[in-house]
Amino acid sequence: MGNRTVDTHIQIGNVTFHSPIMVASGTFGYGFEYQDVVDVSRLGAVITKSITREPRAGNRPPRIVETAAGMLNSIGLANIGLQRFVEEMLPRYENYPTRIIVNIAGSTPEEYLTVLEALAPYPQIAAFEMNYSCPNVKEGGICFGVDANLSFNLTQALRNITSKPLIIKLTPNITSPVEVALAVQEAGADAVSMINTLVGMAVDIRTWKPRLGNITGGLSGPAIKPIALAQIWQVYQEVSIPIIGMGGISSVNDAIEFFLVGASAVQIGTANFVHPPTAMEITSGLTRYMQEKGLASLQDIIGKLKVEA
């Protein structure tokens, strides 16, 4: 016990990450906004805001409402678009202190393919996370994440573009995520990340209006943690590629629950808004926990949930 060194590295596709603690898309900007209060070198990776082919202004306000132990958002993938991302952000990533995973979103397969083709060659990008599951964007688009065939086809096409890790972000707004997870695995995805936000709603009883300009939004925060754990456990039993777990993690104890149900890495999302150093603190806490328990590597926790046969 005590100061034994622990190995917290994880492998996703052909890339190694020094820590399994990452920060989730949409909650850490482009990776620079929190640098005054977060030492990003301590994080396994920063996942960028979703990038789309064209810039997006986002949905009409209000876009944020607090709910019981959580929040709803209907941002609508507001982002600077591919061109400005390439011009303004990529040069700044050349000396970035940790790995950058770019999250890509689109409303047609062509949009995903165009963005991935444009970004794949840049060495400063370690991996890609594909957002098949934004609940706040509808116009003319298809939510790929609920259809196993569409997910398979898109993933296969994306796979043909790059050998860098492809992480598919799954939607929880589905009866069972297993079928889609199996489909993207078969199509060559290196990992799945889950869960994205759950479709939710809040109403102002004074005005009788929805509290979000978009009427519905995505629920995140501690309120969704039990759902995330259950869905990850379901998927873990069926797929063999790594699962990157997220959904309401705000402490190291939360993170350990995710590892036990089968996550190989975790992302911190809404907690960044509440307490920006959360991911750093979980990184330290995880090492401490592993030392105390005498665990040499993450493989000693991942999926080790004890269930009666």
Partner 1 sequence: MPYYQLTCPIIRKTHLTSGTVSLWFRGPQIAHAARPGQFVMLRVRNEVHPLLRRAFSISRCNPEEEAFEIMVQAAGTGSRIILEHEEGEMLDVLGPLGSSFQEVEGIQTALLVGGGIGIAPLFFLAQTLEVDYHILFGGRSHSQLFALPEFEPQMRFCTEDGSLGQKGLVTDLLQKTLQEVSGKAAVFACGPNQMLAAVAGVAEKTGIPCQVSMEAPMACGVGVCMGCPVPDVKGGYRYVCKDGPVFPAEMIHFKQLVNG
Q: Which of 42, 53, 63, 99 binds partner 1 (CB under 8 A)?
A: 63
Q: Which is nearer to partner 1, 203 or 296 (CB)?
A: 203
For partner 1, the binding residue among 19, 48, 214, 250 (CB under 8 A) is 250
The answer to whether 134 is a known catalytic residue is: yes
- Which member of 81, 188, 277, 303 binds partner 1 (CB under 8 A)? 277
Which of 78, 90, 142, 150 touches partner 1 (CB under 8 A)? Answer: 78
Please report whether residue 20 would count as binding partner 1 according to CB under 8 A. no
Beta bridge partners of 244: 193, 265
**Which residue in the set 9, 33, 204, 253 belongs to the binding site for partner 1 (CB under 8 A)?**
33
Determine, following the binding rule CB under 8 A, whether residue 103 of this chain makes contact with partner 1: no
In whole angstroms, the minimum distance from the beta carbon of 87 to partner 1 comes to 18
Task: Check binding of 29 to partner 1 (CB under 8 A).
Answer: yes
State both tokens at 6: 């622990």
Shortest distance, position 259 Cβ to partner 1, whole Å: 20
Distance CA 273, CA 150 (A): 33
Q: How far is Cα 197 from Cα 221, in angstroms, rounded to an integer? A: 9
Q: Whose Cβ is closer to partner 1: residue 46's or residue 127's?
A: 46
Q: Please list, in sequence order, all residues whose beta carbon lies within 8 angstroms of the beta carbon of residue 208, skipping any fewer than 6 positions away.
A: none
Contact 235, 206 (CB under 8 A): no
Query: Do the beta carbons of residue 146 and residue 200 sit within 8 Å?
Result: no
CB neighbour class for 7 (10 Å; exposed up to 12, middle 13-18, buried from 19)? middle
Q: Which of 8, 19, 27, 283 binds partner 1 (CB under 8 A)?
A: 27
Backbone angles phi, psi at 179, to 5 degrees: -60, -45
210 lines the binding site for partner 1 (CB under 8 A): no
What's the 3-state SS for 218-281?
EEECHHHHHHHHHHHHHHHCCCCCCEEECCCCCCHHHHHHHHHCCCCEEEECCHHHHCCCHHHH
Among 72-80, 118-126, 140-148, 233-241, the segment contacting partner 1 (CB under 8 A): 72-80
Conformation bin of residue 283: beta by default, left when phi > 0, alpha when psi is -120 to 50? alpha
* Minimum distance from residue 149 beta carbon to partner 1 (Å): 32
Q: By C-beta, is 37 or 296 nearer to partner 1?
A: 37
Q: Is 273 in the site for partner 1 (CB under 8 A)?
A: yes
Active-site pick, 23, 100, 134, 255: 134
- Would you please indicate which residues are annotated as catalytic (active-site) residues? 134
